[in-house]
Every structure is written in C-alpha cells, then in structure tokens.
Amino acid sequence: MEIRVERDVPRMSEPRRLPAATYNRMRTLLRNGPSVVFVPIRSMQFLAIVDVEEIVFVDHLRKNWAAIAWRDFRPGQRSALDAAVPYQAVYYREDGATLMRRLQSEFDAALAALAAKAPAEGHPARVLDFVSRKAGGAS
C-alpha cells in the first residue's frame, strides 16, 4: 500500500517527551511487522503512519495532508529504559498544539489495541484440519 502525504510549511515546533511504554510499544510493532505501521486513532478520526524515523498524523478530512509529525526521537538521551524519550513535535496546522493535548494518550491507546491484535512473537499461526462429517448417518 502506498500513501502519499503532503506537508505545508510548519506552523510551530516544540520539544516533547514520549512515555517509555508508548515508545517501546511502537518500536516492538515496527520490529515484528512491516517497515511502516498504520495506526487508526478512531476516537479522533486520525491515522498515524509510523516508520523508524517519524510518525505522521493525518486527519480524516484532509487525508493526504500531514497535521502533525513526531520526529527526531532520541532514545539514547534517556537514562533508563522506562524513562520518556525526547522528540520534536512539528505542527502543520494552527490547531496543532490543541490536538497534542489529546493525541499522545489516544495514540498510546490505539497502539495498545493494535498490539493486542498482533500475533505473539515466537508463536506462529497454525492451520487446523477439521474432519468433515458426511450428512445422513454413521459410516
């Protein structure tokens, strides 16, 4: 699947911190799956497009235009694996800062839901053979 996302001139940018649980969940999904993960955030009608370099959020009303991007993750700057990860939030819309108040927690909930659906690592799927019974009595 290919999605082309356009970007306006950034309206604002600010340093932020992503909770370790969210960052680790995101990295696990990328490690176990494809190089790009699409995370629907149904409660906000957004789609998060996650790759190893950044997360781009698009709104359902402007599907091909970035609303917010999280980039420049710096996990090496944290002192422990359970510490928050610094990153840069880039807002392409005027209401970007307002969206951020809710987006980080909603993204985490959407990631958790997606991770719950993913097959467990080390447990490949199996095909079960079911024996069909012929109708009309015993054989």
- Structural domains of the chain, ranges and CATH numbers in brackets: 12-117 (3.30.310)
Mean per-residue pLDDT for 31-57? Answer: 90
Nearest to 32 by CA among 138, 121, 109: 121
Look up the pTM and report it: 0.80
Residue 46 has pLDDT above 70, yes or no: yes
Looking at residue 39, the DSSP 8-state letter turns out to be E
Q: Quickly list DSSP for 57-75.
A: EEESSSTTBEEEEEE---G
Give the model's confidence band at 45: pLDDT under 50 very low, under 70 low, under 90 confident, else very high.
Answer: very high
Tens of pLDDT, residues 76-118: 999 898 999 999 999 999 999 899 989 988 999 999 998 888 6
d(CA 11, CA 95): 9
Tens of pLDDT, residues 19-30: 999 999 999 888
